[in-house]
């Protein structure tokens, strides 16, 4: 072997050895990326309580994510095909679904100040499961119910979701106060679980509506409440040892909670952002039912099938997860006011895609209906999630320690009231402009009014604090004076003993 051949072999050997570490490095990076979500969950479980994390996954993933998405699609077809109701009337009915959510302060008061057999959280998970499951079975199994009775049953399903939600939110609010640095992570987990559950719910809803009918598919809504009931028995919660004079103590605590809520809501740094959250939801009037009837109309609209409607929403749920990731990776350190301003600006801009679609300008541009509606759904869901999460983080920042469950429920009640106003406002506009089951002539005008109101909300951004998302927004003496948590009660909030108080 001559010298040139030896040099070639040496160079080839060096090249292969230099490429091998690079290849191993790429494999290591991919493996680390795969493990990152699991390491993140492990971190949350170590800092908080593992059963608390499990509760978030179950309530937000199964109850809110799956049930809410499945409920949305199936009930839309139920009112349209079984009850044969006008879209403006359906908007009013859907507004009534928010009544249990508006009552969240009531559920919050019960979970905070009325323990049952020494437990504050467990019994209310059981109650949520029983109410939701019984209501779903009744509307699914008892034939073609009168509209009023069917509406009552569907409100009962919503009540089960709301009670489970307020119970887990009480734990989230307390943990957000105890470990402020993890508040955005907790909301990211909630958002991700909700979006993942919604993906499953939306992707299966059209299939079950097609094969079981809108009424038969409602029976599946009885499954998640079973798991919520089981959660009430298995979730970790220390039983209070101070059971004597429980009724008298509960009434005293109730008075403290009510006074604390009144004192807290009077602070400008509390009522101003609360007012913004309400108005930002209320002014964005809902046009969903008008658009849904138009989507599925064989003459005026694109006549999407039941399966494809579910696919649209399922892809939107995937986009929501992308929105959660964008927030978690890049936006959780941006001050509240800056983030919400640009999120609202994008929210109004994305609404113009609905207008383009209804006017069928997408066909003029050569974009098929199915492609355009999926694109529009993805964009709007990403922006909606980015807009929503910081408002929830902001809400946790406004809760006083000791009545955190009740006060967080009050803030979520304000949000639900905003959503109800949005639904009813949209229903009134649909009715006023004569958008019916078969006449969609003025639907574009309804959407234009909605988008104009979204842009108008930007003028209210001064109500949002400039603070960072990890800052404390209320005076610390409120937390001290209103605290009703004693040493015996600390375990009730599902906070692990080794967590670090970063307040």
d(CA 10, CA 26): 25
d(CA 159, CA 362): 40
For the four alpha carbons of 372, 368, 289 and 206, in that order, the dihedral sign comes to negative
Query: Which residue, among 409, 396, 392, 395, has the nearest Cα to 113 in the 3D structure?
Result: 409
Q: Domains in the chain, please, with CATH?
A: 47-492 (1.20.1250.20)
Element (H, E) at 426: helix 404-432
Per-residue pLDDT at 157: 92
Position 2 confidence tier, pLDDT thresholds 50, 70, 90: low
Whether 163 shows a pLDDT value over 70: the answer reads yes
8-22, 56-70, 325-339, 452-466: which has the minimum mean pLDDT?
Answer: 8-22
Summarised one tens digit per residue, pLDDT across range 234-247 is 877 777 665 545 55
264 and 62 Cβ atoms separated by less than 8 Å: no
Position 185 confidence tier, pLDDT thresholds 50, 70, 90: confident
Position 488 confidence tier, pLDDT thresholds 50, 70, 90: very low
Whether 119 shows a pLDDT value over 80: the answer reads no
Position 410 confidence tier, pLDDT thresholds 50, 70, 90: confident
For the four alpha carbons of 255, 260, 266 and 272, in that order, the dihedral sign comes to negative
Position 88 confidence tier, pLDDT thresholds 50, 70, 90: confident
Query: Which residue, among 450, 392, 120, 391, has the nearest Cα to 253 in the 3D structure?
Result: 120
> What's the CA angle centered on 288, arms 285 and 289, to 5 degrees?
115
Per-residue pLDDT at 490: 37
- Six token digits for residue 156: 């009962």
Summarised one tens digit per residue, pLDDT across range 189-248 is 887 888 788 888 888 888 888 888 888 888 999 999 999 988 888 877 777 665 545 556
pTM: 0.69
Position 457 confidence tier, pLDDT thresholds 50, 70, 90: very high
* DSSP code string of 157-204: HHHHHHHHHHHHHHHHHHHHHHSGGGHHHHHHHHHHHHHHHHHHHHHH
- More confident position, 264 or 272: 272
Maximum Cα interatomic distance, the chain, rounded to a whole number of Å:
100
Position 420 confidence tier, pLDDT thresholds 50, 70, 90: confident
Per-residue pLDDT at 445: 94
Neighbouring CB atoms inside 10 A of 18's CB total 9
Instruction: Kindly state the DSSP code that residue 482 receives in the 8-state scheme.
Output: T
Whether 299 shows a pLDDT value over 90: the answer reads no
> What's the CA angle centered on 196, arms 191 and 202, to 5 degrees?
115
Per-residue pLDDT at 14: 46
Position 500 confidence tier, pLDDT thresholds 50, 70, 90: very low
435 and 358 Cβ atoms separated by less than 8 Å: no
- Six token digits for residue 18: 């230099």
Residue 116 bridge partners (DSSP): 119
Per-residue pLDDT at 485: 39
Place of tokens 């309580």: 49
d(CA 264, CA 399): 8
Instruction: Kindly state the DSSP code that residue 256 receives in the 8-state scheme.
Output: H
Whether 491 shows a pLDDT value over 50: the answer reads no
Contact residues for 302 (Cβ-Cβ < 8 A; gap 6+): 295, 369, 370, 373
CA–centroid distance for 146 within its chain: 31
Per-residue pLDDT at 390: 86
Summarised one tens digit per residue, pLDDT across range 355-400 is 999 999 999 989 999 999 999 989 998 998 888 888 888 887 787 7
Per-residue pLDDT at 27: 58
176-180, 240-244, 472-476: which has the minimum mean pLDDT?
Answer: 240-244
Average pLDDT over all residues of the chain:
80
25 φ/ψ angles, rounded to the nearest 5 degrees:
-65, -45
Whether 454 shows a pLDDT value over 90: the answer reads yes
Per-residue pLDDT at 103: 84
The pLDDT > 70 percentage for the chain reads 82
Place of tokens 């887990």: 168
For residue 77, count CB atoms less than 10 angstroms from its CB and return exposed for 0-12, middle for 13-18, buried for 19 or more: buried
* DSSP code string of 352-414: HHHHHHHTTHHHHTT--HHHHHHHHHHHHHHHHHHHHHHHHHHHHHTPPTTSHHHHHHHHHHH
Neighbouring CB atoms inside 10 A of 290's CB total 26
3-state secondary structure of 457: helix
165-174, 223-232, 235-244, 407-416: which has the minimum mean pLDDT?
Answer: 235-244
């Amino acid at each position: 072997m001559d010298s040139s051949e030896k040099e070639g072999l040496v160079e080839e050997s060096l090249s292969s050895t230099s490429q091998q570490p690079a290849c191993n490095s790429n494999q290591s990076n991919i493996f680390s990326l795969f493990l990152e979500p699991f390491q993140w969950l492990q971190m949350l479980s170590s800092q908080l309580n593992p059963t608390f994390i499990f509760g978030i996954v179950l309530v937000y993933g199964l109850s809110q994510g799956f049930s809410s998405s499945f409920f949305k699609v199936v009930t839309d077809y139920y009112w349209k095909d079984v009850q044969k109701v006008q879209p403006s009337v359906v908007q009013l009915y859907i507004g009534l679904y928010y009544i249990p959510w508006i009552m969240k302060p009531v559920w919050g008061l019960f979970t905070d100040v009325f323990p049952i057999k020494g437990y504050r959280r467990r019994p209310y998970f059981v109650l949520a499961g029983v109410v939701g499951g019984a209501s779903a079975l009744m509307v699914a199994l008892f034939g073609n119910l009168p509209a009023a009775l069917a509406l009552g049953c569907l409100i009962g399903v919503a009540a089960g979701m709301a009670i489970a939600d307020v119970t887990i939110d009480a734990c989230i609010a307390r943990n957000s106060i105890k470990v402020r640095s993890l508040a955005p992570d907790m909301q990211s987990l909630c958002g991700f679980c909700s979006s993942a559950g919604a993906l499953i719910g939306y992707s299966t809803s059209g299939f079950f509506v097609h094969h079981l009918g809108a009424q038969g598919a409602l029976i599946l809504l009885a499954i998640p409440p079973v798991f919520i009931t089981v959660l009430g028995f298995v979730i970790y919660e220390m039983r209070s040892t101070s059971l004597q004079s429980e009724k008298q103590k509960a009434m005293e605590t109730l008075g403290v909670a009510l006074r604390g809520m009144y004192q807290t809501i009077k602070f400008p740094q509390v009522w101003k952002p609360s007012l913004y959250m309400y108005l930002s939801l209320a002014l964005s009037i809902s046009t969903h039912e008008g658009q849904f009837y138009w989507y599925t109309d064989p003459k005026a609209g694109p006549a999407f099938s039941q399966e494809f409607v579910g696919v649209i929403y399922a892809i939107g749920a995937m986009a929501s997860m992308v929105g959660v990731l964008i927030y978690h990776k890049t936006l959780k350190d941006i001050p509240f006011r800056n983030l919400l301003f640009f999120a609202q600006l994008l929210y109004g801009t994305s609404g113009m895609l609905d207008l383009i679609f209804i006017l069928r300008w997408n066909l003029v541009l050569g974009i098929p209906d199915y492609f355009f509606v999926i694109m529009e759904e993805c964009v709007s869901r990403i922006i909606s999630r980015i807009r929503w999460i910081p408002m929830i983080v902001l809400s946790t920042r406004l809760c006083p320690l000791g009545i955190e469950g009740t006060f967080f429920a009050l803030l979520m009640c304000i949000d639900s009231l905003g959503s109800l106003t949005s639904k009813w406002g949209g229903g009134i506009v649909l009715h006023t402009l004569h958008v019916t089951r078969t006449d969609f002539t003025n639907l574009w005008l309804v959407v234009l009014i909605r988008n104009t109101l979204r842009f108008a909300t930007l003028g209210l951004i001064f109500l949002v604090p400039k603070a960072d998302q990890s800052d404390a927004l209320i005076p610390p003496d409120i937390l001290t004076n209103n605290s009703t948590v004693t040493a015996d009660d600390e375990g009730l909030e599902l906070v692990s003993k080794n967590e670090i108080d970063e307040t």
